[in-house]
Amino acid sequence: ALLGGDAAAQGVRAALRQRYLRGLAAAQGRPTRFCLRAGVQVDAVFGAADVEAVAIQVDALRTPLGVQAAALLRCTDVLAYSFFL
Amino acid sequence: MNDWQRKSPLDWETYVNKMVKVAAIEKHEYEGWVLTVDPVSASIVLATFLENEKVSVSVVLGHAVQEVKILKEGDDGMKQRLSGIFAPEES
């Protein structure tokens, strides 16, 4: 599925990806709740994500020990995240 | 890779602009209108409209998706509303 295929599939793939990237741009700078493995939830400000979906960079990560100025969340640890527009 | 991640872009497109229920690992469930599915990570982007005219956007990562069930089809008005959410700002 990841290698594309005929031209129609490639066009659809590009449209889906473009909308996803616009979504990432909209998330930037917004307070976001991350749902991690083992029922853990953390709040942070969304920074950026890499193209291959390996990690998400966040600012002001709230932890029980205080607020971490910057952090990287591994995508394999994240189940979902939500923010308000 | 799970079954959801193995789908083709044409399969994912059939979910766009529809109200779905996503079952994720660890018994999490999410409901909303599908804005898009990232063809790279298979992450699904959902929108829900709140009473105060705000929009809540949830992204369920592809590796965590177990099942996606279509609950409702979107009409033209909903399609337009959804495509306006991430539309580039006019400059």
Q: What are phi and psi of B21, to 5 degrees?
A: -120, 125
| Residue A4 confidence (pLDDT) above 80 | no
Q: Answer whether residue A77 shows pLDDT above 60.
A: yes
pTM: 0.92
**Predicted-assembly ipTM surpassing the 0.90 threshold:** yes
| pLDDT value at residue A8 | 85
- Give dist(CA B51, CA B54) in Å, integer: 7
> At A3, is the pLDDT very low, low, confident or very high (cuts 50, 70, 90)?
low
Residues in Cβ contact with B29 at an 8 Å cutoff, skipping those fewer than 6 apart:
B21, B22, B23
> What is the pLDDT averaged over residues A37-66?
94
Q: Quick check: B86 pLDDT over 90?
A: no
Identify the residue among A3, A6, A10, A16 best suited for mutation to test binding to B, counting B beta carbons within 10 A and taking the highest.
Answer: A16
pLDDT (0 to 100) of residue B87: 81
- Per-residue pLDDT, averaged over A23-39, amounts to 96
Name the band, by pLDDT with cuts 50, 70 and 90, for residue A16: very high
Name every chain A residue with its beta carbon within 8 A of the beta carbon of B6.
1
Q: For residue A35, is pLDDT > 60?
A: yes
Q: How far apart are CA A48 and CA B60, in angstroms?
A: 16
Query: For residue A23, which residues of chain B lie inside 8 Å, CB to CB?
Result: 35-36, 45, 57, 59, 86
Q: pLDDT by residue (tens digit) across B29-71?
A: 999 999 999 999 999 999 999 998 899 999 999 999 999 999 9
